[in-house]
Amino acid sequence: MVVTWQNSDGTKARVLARGNFSLDAGGLVNLLLALAVVSLSLAGLLAWQGYWPILLIALVQLVLVAWILIRTWQRTWVSEVIEICEDSIRVTRQRHRRKRRHELVTAWTVVELRQPDIAWYSPRLIIRSGAKQVELGSFLTSDEKLQLLEQLQIAIRKHSAIKGALHS
């Protein structure tokens, strides 16, 4: 999810990028419990009839699905706030209570969408100024990265000293 705010005179903009996952912690636990009950019930019936390896396969499958869903759910706690001012761009990446901040010079900032070496990977969104570069939105979908790219280019274009370099 990408949301943009701008002040009335257009000199300052703020872009918020967050992961998008609809389940809260309680919903995730309920989903995992429902999956466990159904899978283990069916595997238990088959194990009762002598097909005991099915029970082991069901347990491995449950652990794998739980790990994937929990990892996906954790990505919803990641957010990036990009503040664009006339002289600087501040990027604040927050995951739970940990914050990491980066500051770039607005006049020399370039936003790029780099295509991956492997075709099915998502492109990388890079913001750079001089030798300093920061990857943005690693938790976003490809469409959301494009939206973030467009919003950043619009906000930075007003203050950029390198007008032609903002287009990827």
Contact in structure between 89 and 103 (CB atoms under 8 Å): yes
Q: What is the mean pLDDT of residues 17-46?
A: 89
pLDDT band at 19 (very low <50, low <70, confident <90, very high): confident
Give the residue numbers spanning the domain of 157.
Answer: 1-168
Q: What is the pLDDT of residue 47?
A: 92
pLDDT in tens, 36-89: 999 999 999 999 999 989 999 999 999 999 999 988 887 777 889 999 988 899
Q: Residue 92: is its pLDDT beyond 70?
A: yes
Averaged pLDDT of the chain: 87
At residue 110, the 3 state secondary structure works out as strand
In 49-104, where does DSSP find H-type helix?
A: 53-74
Find the mean pLDDT for residues 107-113.
Answer: 89
Estimate the crossing angle of helix 25-48 against helix 53-74, to 10 degrees: 170
> Does position 136 have pLDDT exceeding 90, yes or no?
yes
Q: What is the pTM of this model?
A: 0.69
pLDDT class for 162, splitting at 50, 70, 90?
low
User: Is the separation of the CB atoms in 144 and 2 below 8 Å?
Assistant: yes
Query: Which DSSP string do the residues of 112-144 spell out, in sequence order?
Result: EEEPPSSTTSPPEEEEEETTEEEEE-TTS-HHH
Residues 6+ apart with CB under 8 A from 88: 103, 104, 105, 106
> Residue 118 in contact with residue 128, Cβ under 8 Å?
no
What's the total number of domains in the chain?
1
pLDDT at residue 20 greater than cutoff 80: no
